[in-house]
Amino acid sequence: MKNSFDEKILEEANDWIKANQKVVLATVIQTWGSSPRPIGSRMIVNEKGDFSGSVSGGCVESAIVKECMGLIKENKTYKKIEFKVSNESAWEVGLACGGEISVYLEQII
Amino acid sequence: MKHSQLKEIIKKKASKIEFAIVTNLENGLSEIYQPKKSLSKDFDIHKDQIENFFKLKKNGVIENTEIFVETYIRPIKVIIVGAVHIAQYLVDFAKSLNFEISIIDPRGYFASEQRFPDMKIINKWPEEAFKEIETNENSALIALTHDPKIDDPALQHALNKKFYYIGALGSKKTHENRCQRLKESGFNNEQINSIHGPIGIKLGGRSAPEIALSIIAQLVSETYKK
């Protein structure tokens, strides 16, 4: 049986907006290989860099936060980013699991 | 996404409506898809594929397009019989899972609103209570009273309606007696063996939250086995 998980991220996004924060929604839209989180996984980021939810197991969240803050700063509404296997040091952003994910960012306007 | 659309999505989720969010990744526009409702021109050209994703309850980007579809599935109905201590923790755990819980308990002092704020509690005997809840093979039953007067009619209803998960609290001895009673009521071995009793995975815990955790773990596991 299919059962969608529900982490109530959208509800939280709404609460943040009600508290006059700018919110960018990040959603996993494509995965290849062994990605840590399924398509549809979400996180939200505000203009200060506070975030909630997840799009990976902690591997790319920091990069997502930066990208989302950039989106708010530049007053853009959407952006698509891809993350691939990282060959750099462990501190570099990338998926240690060897998977690839594509994340879509959209500002709630 | 517009804030008005976000609010609409939250509203639809709360009213347990099945829908999908379709997003054009090339221009950032998004819309809510529901069967029999029309889509704007931008999305209408992909209508067949969107419908297909919706039917298969699938999330993803439609092949050779820049259209992302995310489907929202109605939560699974879980009926708890017995507004007992364990049920309070089950309600807590289920909040972050896609389960819609109803609690049945004919005993008024158990089924008080103060013990279960914002919960649908049916303060009736199971035979009457089940008239108010539509159930089918996608429903689950958690029987917690270990009082045959209350649990048995609920178990019988769940067996007749072929619930995908039926669990009943009680020791091995209690469960043996329960199985015997069900046998006498005309249920066959296959039906009776489908009941998870004693309920829950083997965690070893004895406290109410630990038992609730073992039950919810079993429920999730059975949900994905289907």
As to burial, measured by CB atoms within 10 angstroms (0-12 exposed, 13-18 middle, 19+ buried), residue B33 is buried
- Report CB contact under 8 Å: B2, A109: yes
Ranges A4-8, B90-94, B132-136: which has the least confidence: A4-8
Contacts of A40 in chain B (CB under 8 A): 59, 70
Contact B59 A40 (CB under 8 A): yes
Q: Is the residue at A29 inside a domain?
A: yes
Do A27 and B68 lie within an 8 Å CB cutoff?
yes
Pairing of strands A100-107, A23-32: antiparallel
Q: Are residues B109 and B190 in the same domain?
A: yes
Q: Which among B1, B23, B76 has the least Cβ separation from residue A3?
A: B76
- Give the up-direction half-sphere exposure of residue B6: CA atoms within 13 A in the CB hemisphere: 22
In a domain, residue A2? The reply is: no
Q: What is the pLDDT at residue A57?
A: 81
- pLDDT exceeds cutoff 60 at A106: yes
Which among A4, A25, A30 has CB closest to B61? A30
Q: Residue A80: which domain range? A: 9-107
pLDDT of A87: 46
Of B26, B56, B72, the position where a domain reaches its end is B72
| Coil/strand/helix, residue B122 | strand
pTM of the model: 0.81
Q: What whole-number distance in Å separates Cα of residue A96 and Cα of residue B170? A: 45
Amino acid at A13: A
B49/B142 same-domain check: no
- Shortest CA distance from B221: residue in chain A: A1
Distance between CA B221 and CA B20 in Å, rounded?
Answer: 25
CB B143 within 8 Å of CB B169: yes
Residues B114 and B205 in one domain: yes
The phi and psi torsions of A71 (rounded to 5 degrees) equal: -60, -45
Angle of CA points B119, B124, B129, to nearest 5°: 80
What value of ipTM does the predicted structure carry? 0.88
A89 vs chain B: nearest CA distance in angstroms? 31
Give the pLDDT score at A92: 55
| Least confident interval from A88-92, B137-141, B187-191 | A88-92
A69 located within any domain: yes
A1 assigned to some structural domain: no
Could you give the CA distance from residue A35 to residue B210 in angstroms, rounded to a whole number?
Answer: 31
SS (H, E, C) A54-97: CCCCCCCHHHHHHHHHHHHHCCCCEEEEEECCCCCCCCCCCCCC
Which pLDDT value is given to residue B33? 96
Q: Mean pLDDT over residues B191-214, rounded? A: 95
What is the number of structural domains in chain A?
Answer: 1
pLDDT grade for A8, boundaries at 50, 70 and 90: confident
**Residue B225 — pLDDT band, cuts 50, 70, 90?**
confident
Say how many CA atoms lie within 13 Å of B145 toward its Cβ.
Answer: 24
**Portion of chain B with pLDDT greater than 70, in percent:** 100
Query: Could you give the CA distance from residue A65 to residue A12 in angstroms, rounded to a whole number?
Result: 16
Question: Which residues constitute the domain of residue B18?
Answer: 3-72
For residue A94, the model assigns a pLDDT of 62
Residue A102 is assigned to a structural domain of this protein: yes
Q: Which residues of A touch B3 (CB under 8 A)?
A: 14, 17, 108-109
For residue A91, tell me if it sits in a domain.
yes
Q: Quote the pLDDT of residue A23.
A: 98
Number of domains in chain B: 2
Dist CA B174 CA B168 (whole Å) = 10
In order of B13, B73, B135, the CA distances from B17 in angstroms are 6, 8, 16
pLDDT of residue A96: 66
Residues 9 through 28 of chain B touching chain A, CB cutoff 8 Å:
9-10, 13, 23, 25, 28
CB contact under 8 A, A27 and B70: yes
| pLDDT band for position A4 (cuts 50, 70, 90) | low
Per-residue pLDDT, averaged over B18-32, amounts to: 95
Considering the domain architecture, whether residues B32 and B106 belong to the same structural domain is answered as no
Residues B204 and B142 in one domain: yes
CA–chain centroid gap for B32, Å, is 24
Same domain? B49 vs B90: no
Same domain, B100 and B53: no
User: What average pLDDT score do residues A2-7 get?
Assistant: 64
* CB–CB contact B70 A14 (8 Å): no
A1, amino acid identity: M
Top pLDDT among B172 and B14 is at B172
- Domain membership of residue A3 (yes or no) is no
pLDDT value of position A100:
85
Residue of B136, B138, B133 whose CA lies nearest to B222: B138
pLDDT tens digit sequence for A11-70: 999 999 999 999 999 999 999 887 778 899 999 999 999 999 999 888 888 999 999 999
Nearest to A5 among B57, B98, B226 (CB): B98
Cβ contact B98–A39 (<8 Å): no
What is the spatial distance between Cα B170 and Cα B180, in angstroms, rounded to a whole number?
14
Would A4 be classed as within a structural domain? no
